[in-house]
Amino acid sequence: MSRYSPRRFLLLSRLLILAVIAALLAGCSTTPQTNALLARKTPGIPLRMELTTVPFHPQAQYQCGPAALATVLEFSGTEVSPAALVPQVYVPDRQGSFQVEMLAATRRYQRLAYIIEPTLDALLASVVAGQPVLILQNLGLDWYPQWHYAVVVGYDLERRQILLRSGVTERYEMAMKLFERTWRRAGHWGMVALAPGELPAADNARAYFLSAAAFETHAPAELADTAWRTGLERWPESIELLMGHGNFLHHQGDVTAATERFRTVTTLAPGYGPGHNNLAQALMTAGRFDEALAAAQQAVAIGGELEAAYQATLRQAEEASQGD
């Protein structure tokens, strides 16, 4: 028999494919977060936690997006069926749902779509805080992705499991390491739906600001106000939250309260141009032109990337105080 017989060639190519698959699997099999969490002497969170009252909506084919979204929205007090969400998040030719539309649809039901930090710690902290997390997984491989949305409702550190509402399984126990691999292949993406007045588990004012700013664009004024105030109660010195609420109040015509917010910004961060600029604008609206002029001059003196806007404010203030 020749050295290069078809049979031998077949065997060699099979071995080669096996080696490639093994290499690919090895390449994505590390689970640093799970290892770190389990190695800790005191995990800092309860050993197990399960939000048993989270509802379950089994998914129709390709429609894990609407099912997972209905799950977190219903738990948050909004009655909505997966079928009602299909026309809002399902994309027929991709047979799935995009992350941005999951966020946008969450806001449509008057919930803040808050993206958690991309860590297992943040994920479990949310569960401990009583907030189920809608996550994206890649159940396949990097080169053969199988994107899937599910809802994390619990965990068990001793049994090393993550508990999910997933697909057609109401209580899916997934090995923590396997979960981490599938979650990591999807960029560790997860969101919680917060009712206005509710805070996320993490101490991250910037992340909350982003979710409140997006929420504000389509929310009724009263709910948007609640979202801003809730954030400011938790992070009273967050410049971004103060600015966001100030802008919101100014837009609503509450000039006195807006002025107060911007004034706080300039006190907390004297070198922050937008604070002086918006204070000048609010003071102008209030008819306090001399103070506005002083604030606008401050902003221009600070300068920076937004200087063109500061200059425009200064010109307005100059005209206004001359006309006064």
Partner 1 sequence: MSLTNLKPRFFVSLLMLVFSLACIQAPVHAAMIGTDVLVAGTELEMQRDALREQLMRDDVMEELLALGVDPATVNERVNRMTAAEISQVQGQLDSLPAGSGLGTVALVLLILILLEVAGVIDIFPGL
Q: What residues numbered 151-170 form the site for partner 1, per CB under 8 A?
A: 167
Burial of 16 (0-12, 13-18, 19+ CB in 10 A): exposed
Site for partner 1 (CB under 8 A): which residue of 25, 47, 91, 221? 91
Site for partner 1 (CB under 8 A): which residue of 96, 128, 177, 204? 96
> Based on CB atoms, which residue is closest to partner 1, 78 or 88?
88
Inter-residue contact 209 to 240 (CB < 8 Å)? yes
Residues 9-68 close enough to bind partner 1 by CB under 8 A:
10, 13-14, 17-18, 21, 59, 61-65, 68
Min. distance of Cβ 95 from partner 1 in angstroms? 5
With a CB cutoff of 8 Å and minimum separation 6, the contacts of 26 are: none
Residues 98-117 close enough to bind partner 1 by CB under 8 A:
98-105, 107-108
Min. distance of Cβ 303 from partner 1 in angstroms? 12
Site for partner 1 (CB under 8 A): which residue of 87, 256, 322, 323? 87
- Give backbone dihedrals phi and psi of 50, rounded to 5 degrees, phi first: -150, 125
Structure tokens of 214? 């997006």
* DSSP summary character for residue 59: P
> Based on CB atoms, which residue is closest to partner 1, 31 or 138?
138
| Inter-axis angle of helices 82-89 and 99-108, nearest 10 | 120
With a CB cutoff of 8 Å and minimum separation 6, the contacts of 320 are: 284, 289, 292, 293
Min. distance of Cβ 166 from partner 1 in angstroms? 8
> Based on CB atoms, which residue is closest to partner 1, 115 or 129?
115
Contact string (CB under 8 A) for partner 1, positions 227-266, x = contact: -------------x--xx--xx-x----------------
**In this chain, which stretch among 41-49, 114-122, 193-201, 301-309 interacts with partner 1, using CB under 8 A?**
301-309
For position 217 contacting partner 1 by CB under 8 A, the verdict is: yes
Q: Which residues pair with 193 in a beta bridge?
A: 113
Nearest CA-CA partner of 65 in 152, 134, 145, 116: 134
Length of the chain in terms of residues written: 324
Site for partner 1 (CB under 8 A): which residue of 213, 227, 293, 300? 213
**In this chain, which stretch among 23-31, 75-83, 89-97, 155-163 interacts with partner 1, using CB under 8 A?**
89-97
DSSP 130-156: T--EEEEEE-SBTTB--EEEEEEEEEE
> Based on CB atoms, which residue is closest to partner 1, 200 or 246?
246
CA-only gyration radius of the chain, Å: 26
Q: Which residues pair with 147 in a beta bridge?
A: 138
> Based on CB atoms, which residue is closest to partner 1, 44 or 287?
287
Min. distance of Cβ 296 from partner 1 in angstroms? 9
